[in-house]
A and B are shown apart, each in its own frame.
Chain A
Amino acid sequence: MNWIIILVVLTGLVVLRRFKLGMLAWLGVWWFAALVFVRFGFDVAVPMSVVKLYMGIVSLGLMAYVLSDRNRLKQVQEPLVALLTERSHAVLLGVIALAIPSAVAANIYFGMTAPAKPPVFGRTVHPAPPTELNVFDKEFDLVSLDNPYRHLEEAEPEEFATRVAHGREVYYENCFYCHGDLLAGDGMFIHGLNPIPTNFQDQGTLPILQESFVFWRITKGAPGLPEEGGPWASAMPAWEKFLNEDEVWDVILFIYDFTGARPRARHEVDH
């Protein structure tokens, strides 16, 4: 949260209360305040797609506010009608009449001169896994597959700890270049990569996945992604060629252990 911006917006709103603004002006103020808040109120910028979504909702809300009461509607209509009909507003009207095409022109100018960027794409981060997985010369049923060493966590904590330690070695020998020292997806290779390596500290990855899913992703890597995981190739290697089965299960134990995440439980539904 960018508290300075938020404070500025709030003070601005409070200060404006002292002036006698009309309904129309307030609408503009609220809308603008919401925009500033959504756009600049966060330390990490909110992606434009979400800003647009939010501002659309805010606009709808403001519209509902005005249109849900006759008096408010009148208060908004009156200055607009006055602007269009009264002589005293002629200059303002002229300015607005010029401003609209200028804004369009500016928009086109900036659109044409902006540096070329790859298009925004909606990559599906967690595409549906296949139901079966052929790897290490075996067939795994991904629907019922579990980490064979997960039960050690309670049954034999010591054995579990050595497994995790082994997983740690695997991780720092193979994965940290991309997934980072602290598993935050900021390894030294990341600058050239798109999509960027997964940040395992993110609540939206490991905790919502079952270990069978992670097993599939590690063994098959980017080449194993279905189409919707595209459109561009991810750099995630297919580790089945470099690691054996135990190493994969151990590194899974490690990444869950290190981030403190629990794998998504498979919920049994009686039927």
Chain B
Amino acid sequence: MKKKKLLLFIGPLLLFIVSGLAIKSAFFVDGKLAYRSPAAEQGERWTPREQALEDEAAATEKANREKPYEEAEYRAFPVVGSRVAIWVVSQLHLLFAAFVLAVPMFALTIEFIGYKTGDKRYDDLAYEFTKLLSVSFSLTAAFGAGLTFMLIALYPKFTNYLAHVFSPTFLPYVLLFFAEAGFLYSYYYGWGKFSARVHLFLGLMLNVVGTCIMLIANAWLTFMSTPSGISESGAVISTWEAVSNYTWMPINIHRVIANVAFGGSIAGAYAAYKFLSAKTDEERAHYDWMGYIGNFVAIAGLLPLPFAGYYLASEIYAFSQTMGLTMMGGAFSWLFIIQAVLIGNLFLFANWYLWLGMGRIEGAERFRPFIKYLLIVVTLCFMVWATPRSILATVEEVQAMGGSSHPILGFLGVMSAKNTAVNILILTTYISFLLYRRSGKIPTVSWAKMGNRIQFGIFVAAASIVIFYGVYGYFVEAAVRIKFSVPQVMSVLLAMILVTIIDVLLMRNAKSTETRWGKISPISQYVLIMLAVTFTWIMGLMGYLRSGLRQHWHVYGVIRDTSPDAFTPTLGFATQVVSVTVILFFALISFVFWLAGLSGKKVTAAVEPNPTLPAAQGLRPVGFEAPATSSVATTSGGHQAKAGSSPDSGGSVQ
């Protein structure tokens, strides 16, 4: 063993020395054999060539001394060019930032549930989510620094301009960033070491500070698309106006929600990966549950996203019709077909996972026949949602249609139909979730039948309202039609709230059948992973959209892009860059997951099943039911562990 190591060391050393000697002797021989001009051999030192070299050196020195300083506008990045370099780095920064911002939101929520119900498993789960954060946080910062340096190096003039407008926001940003680091690490390392309330407070502050950071960064990038608060030539008049430009709030909202959904889906993918590589049933049960919660968070974020998206789009229209038309009808209309397909996929995957989840619940068989109908609805809505507005067609096809839109499908390509489809999709996803929740419970209240009927009635009413306004939308003008989306959304929201309330009442003291966590079909785990990949891909694609909408401007209408990259990259090229970015992101996040796994390795003992606290049962929130057997414990002590009151608190740490 020892010899081997010695060999490993000596071998390369010898190789190094020998090759050094060989090169040295080669030069020596070469020097002896080299051709020399007759003049040199006669000992003559001076040649015209040497004179020229001397002159040249002198000239260079002079030129160097007198070289004037010039401000560079752009510098080039080798091989891929500045734009692609900035693009990839900022997208990676954004993806990690989104993850780092989102995870604390639901980690805190879960911790809070654990605190309220006194069930340690929630605390463990929250800790496990948090464990993913610390490395991601460093990566976010690293990419952020990389992005900043690259902006300064590659786009100095433009970066200077942004600093002109936004320098007052820089110091708060830096301070917030320090605060974020402080809260994040104290939240993570302080797990189980502070009192529960102090710890929850740390988590809350982590979220507040994180969101503030995002708000500031969003101001910079939304300003680039929809500038305000500046003079015609670009001088600042009001920094606040520049911050609160047209798309700032819409993007804040869209992003916070999208980040939560994205974070949930990534955490779900982590759980899926752990599930698939799990060795024991306990582990499988635990990660099945974790994946379920990740997916729950992702769906909860997914449902309101379309509305946030439409709000964003309408603000872009309001800012400039040109930009609005570029987005929806112009160069980017093809992008929205891809986006629609991806979003349709998200809905399909989310439903699919829930249906698969029924496989682990005893007594779910009675709901199986419904899946077929839900699937039909999802597929039909997906088709409507993906129907393109302007259709890719051959000349004959266009002639047959008598225009660029199909006489019947044309009706499906417009806003009224899409809004209706997406509302119904949301409602259907919610029904899938409700069925899933139902499948493990048998109501015992006397009015159970009645309750079911009322719930059914509410769904039918909401769907009818949505469809009514969808159809009615064809008979009114655009300005009125846009307003119709409000009652549509409201009826869906109201239906979801009412049904949930009824359901909670209905399930009081319900008989629970067994949920066999870990017994879900492995296919579901691949669905979770696909969900995460799709989400990441959409984020990349939409980032391209937001930047691309500016066309040949750095700041739309104010600072022109005069670099060689002042053209909008084609959709095909963009999808390639986005794909590469997504692959890089997953490579890096796998690394993060692997590291997170290392830190948990120490502990392997499974914990005794936690006697569920009867008092806590009523408090258990919708959708967060924990597995009956707990799981791989983590290194954390947890609040209860610290209190030392529950029987299983110690002992797990070896």
Contact with A along B378-394 (1 / 0, CB 8 A): 11001100111111111
Contact for B397 among A48, A65, A67, A131, CB less than 8 A: A48
Q: Which of B203-211, B262-270, B316-324, B508-516 contacts A (4 or more CB under 8 A)?
A: B316-324
Would A203 and B404 count as touching, CB distance under 8 A? no
Would A269 and B478 count as touching, CB distance under 8 A? no
Question: What residues of chain A lie closer than 8 Å to B395, measured between beta carbons?
Answer: 117-118, 194
Contact for B325 among A44, A127, A203, A266, CB less than 8 A: A127
CB of A147 within 8 Å of the partner chain: no
Would A196 and B391 count as touching, CB distance under 8 A? no
Would B397 and A47 count as touching, CB distance under 8 A? yes
Would B394 and A44 count as touching, CB distance under 8 A? no
Would A269 and B330 count as touching, CB distance under 8 A? no
A154 to B81: give the CA distance in the assembly, Å: 57
Question: What residues of chain A lie closer than 8 Å to B404, measured between beta carbons?
Answer: 123, 125, 195, 202, 204
CB of B368 within 8 Å of the partner chain: yes
Within 8 A of B (CB), among A42-86: 42-50, 53-54, 56-58, 60-61, 64-65, 67-70
CB of B246 within 8 Å of the partner chain: yes
When C-beta atoms are compared, the residue in chain B nearest to A41 turns out to be B408
Question: What residues of chain B lie closer than 8 Å to A259, measured between beta carbons?
Answer: none
Contact with B along A212-228 (1 / 0, CB 8 A): 01000000000000001
Contact with A along B551-568 (1 / 0, CB 8 A): 000000000000000000
When C-beta atoms are compared, the residue in chain B nearest to A53 turns out to be B386
Question: What residues of chain B lie closer than 8 Å to A198, measured between beta carbons?
Answer: 403
Contact with A along B303-332 (1 / 0, CB 8 A): 000000000001101101111011001110
CB of A167 within 8 Å of the partner chain: no
With known contacts A47-B394, A61-B375, A196-B399, A70–B359 Cβ distance under 8 A: yes
A184 to B379: give the CA distance in the assembly, Å: 34
CB of A237 within 8 Å of the partner chain: no
Would B379 and A47 count as touching, CB distance under 8 A? no
Would A204 and B389 count as touching, CB distance under 8 A? yes
Which of B325, B389, B398 has the most chain A CB atoms closer than 10 A to its own CB? Answer: B325
Question: What residues of chain A lie closer than 8 Å to B477, measured between beta carbons?
Answer: 207, 262, 264-265
Question: What residues of chain A lie closer than 8 Å to B394, measured between beta carbons?
Answer: 47-48, 117-118, 120
Question: What residues of chain B lie closer than 8 Å to A210, measured between beta carbons?
Answer: 321
Least CB distance from A123 to B in Å reads: 7
Question: What residues of chain A lie closer than 8 Å to B337, measured between beta carbons?
Answer: 53
With known contacts A60-B348, A124-B331, A131-B322, A199–B246 Cβ distance under 8 A: no
Would A70 and B413 count as touching, CB distance under 8 A? no
A243 to B172: give the CA distance in the assembly, Å: 59
Would B325 and A47 count as touching, CB distance under 8 A? no
A125 to B84: give the CA distance in the assembly, Å: 30
Contact for A44 among B386, B388, B406, B521, CB less than 8 A: B406
A65 to B390: give the CA distance in the assembly, Å: 31
A120 to B334: give the CA distance in the assembly, Å: 14
Would A143 and B322 count as touching, CB distance under 8 A? yes
Would A49 and B523 count as touching, CB distance under 8 A? no
A1 to B407: give the CA distance in the assembly, Å: 10
A48 to B400: give the CA distance in the assembly, Å: 13
Question: What residues of chain A lie closer than 8 Å to B331, measured between beta carbons?
Answer: 124, 127-128, 228
Question: What residues of chain B lie closer than 8 Å to A208, measured between beta carbons?
Answer: 329, 414, 478
When C-beta atoms are compared, the residue in chain A nearest to B371 turns out to be A68
A1 to B395: give the CA distance in the assembly, Å: 22
A60 to B348: give the CA distance in the assembly, Å: 9
Question: What residues of chain B lie closer than 8 Å to A194, measured between beta carbons?
Answer: 395, 398
When C-beta atoms are compared, the residue in chain A nearest to B328 turns out to be A126
Would A61 and B379 count as touching, CB distance under 8 A? yes
With known contacts A184-B402, A199-B403, A125–B383 Cβ distance under 8 A: no
Within 8 A of A (CB), among B354-383: 355-356, 359, 368, 371-372, 375-376, 378-379, 382-383
With known contacts A57-B344, A124-B331, A203-B410, A50–B388 Cβ distance under 8 A: yes
Would B408 and A1 count as touching, CB distance under 8 A? yes
Would A57 and B383 count as touching, CB distance under 8 A? yes
CB of B166 within 8 Å of the partner chain: no
Contact with B along A124-149 (1 / 0, CB 8 A): 11111111000000000011000000
Contact for A61 among B334, B378, B407, CB less than 8 A: B378
With known contacts A202-B410, A265-B478, A69–B371 Cβ distance under 8 A: yes
Least CB distance from B67 to A in Å reads: 41
Least CB distance from B219 to A in Å reads: 15
Question: What residues of chain B lie closer than 8 Å to A186, measured between beta carbons?
Answer: 402
CB of A267 within 8 Å of the partner chain: yes
Would A265 and B390 count as touching, CB distance under 8 A? no
Would A204 and B405 count as touching, CB distance under 8 A? yes
Least CB distance from B322 to A in Å reads: 5
Question: What residues of chain A lie closer than 8 Å to B322, measured between beta carbons?
Answer: 128-131, 142-143
With known contacts A44-B408, A69-B359, A50–B403 Cβ distance under 8 A: no
Within 8 A of B (CB), among A243-271: 262, 264-267, 269, 271
13 of the cross-chain contacts (CB-CB < 8 Å) are A42-B406, A43-B407, A44-B401, A50-B409, A60-B345, A68-B375, A69-B356, A126-B329, A129-B322, A131-B322, A204-B403, A204-B414, A271-B246
A interface residue numbers (CB < 8 A to B):
1, 42-50, 53-54, 56-58, 60-61, 64-65, 67-70, 117-118, 120-131, 142-143, 184-186, 190, 194-196, 198-199, 202-205, 207-208, 210, 213, 228, 262, 264-267, 269, 271
Which 4 pairs show the lowest CB-CB distances between chains A and B? A269-B318, A61-B379, A199-B403, A47-B393
